[in-house]
Amino acid sequence: MPHIIIRRKKEYIKYFSSFKVYLNDEYTGSISNDETIRRIVEQGRNTIRIRMEWCGSPETEFIAEDDTIRTFEIQLRELPWFLNLFMMLLIFAFVIYPPGFLDVSWYFQMALVISAILLLIYQFTLGRDRFLEIIEVQSDPQIYG
């Protein structure tokens, strides 16, 4: 029977949160920080998805063949480079021009506030199912028994 191994590395962000594991849209258990779980899957096409509170990962499809062991790793996904750059510029602008502290035009302050709100809206809507990622890794199956 084919097996899958799901690993979650030790992370300090979301240290105490457990991630829910769904195989073929069925809840099969949860995985805590620095934990590894093993599940038997059906031969053929399968899907895996991880959920955590209000966010999760995109559905990952894999093909399980007879007596194979597939290893997946869960990790937090980094924001796209342009969002990281945008947040750094936003923080830099707040440090240079704190709202209400300097006499800066109101539309500049409003643009900063609206930008921060749009970034939060992205995280709660479009980026909600891209918070975690599932990566298939090559490993030695004898390590896991």
- 45-101 confidence digits (pLDDT tens): 999 999 988 889 999 999 998 888 999 999 887 767 777 777 777 777 777 766 665
The CATH fold assigned to 3-77+129-144 is: Immunoglobulin-like (2.60.40)
- Two tokens at 34? 């620095």
Verdict on whether the full-model pTM lies above 0.85: no
Which of 22-26, 64-68, 111-115: highest mean pLDDT? Answer: 22-26
Question: Dihedral sign, CA of 41, 7, 34, 21?
Answer: negative
- 26-60 confidence digits (pLDDT tens): 999 999 999 999 999 999 999 999 998 888 999 99
Q: Which residues pair with 44 in a beta bridge?
A: 64
Pairing of strands 60-64, 3-8: unpaired
